[in-house]
Amino acid sequence: MKEVFHNIFQFYYQGFSHMTLGKRLWAIILLKLIILFLILKLFFFPNFLKTNFSTDEQRSNHVFEQLTK
């Protein structure tokens, strides 16, 4: 079983190490994902509990009420 994982790892490691254009493409993909998730987090998923409740107790009570409805 250990040898199977080692062979799989070696397959991908050798494939990625011999890429020339692929490394740039992966860098672009990772950069786009990071930017995309940062924008989504900032604009589409605001911190609802932090903005609407001032204490941890109020936040926990709200979450408890929402879960037990």
Sequence ranges of the domains in the chain: 2-68
Confidence grade of residue 63 (pLDDT, cut at 50, 70, 90): very high
Q: Model-level pTM?
A: 0.46
Q: What percent of the chain is modeled with pLDDT above 70?
A: 100
For 7, 12, 66, the CA distances from 59, given in Å and listed in that order, are 49, 45, 11
Confidence grade of residue 6 (pLDDT, cut at 50, 70, 90): very high
Overall average pLDDT of the 32-39 stretch: 90
Which residue has better confidence, 36 or 19? 36
- Tell me the two tokens of residue 20: 């020339």
Radius of gyration of the chain (CA): 22
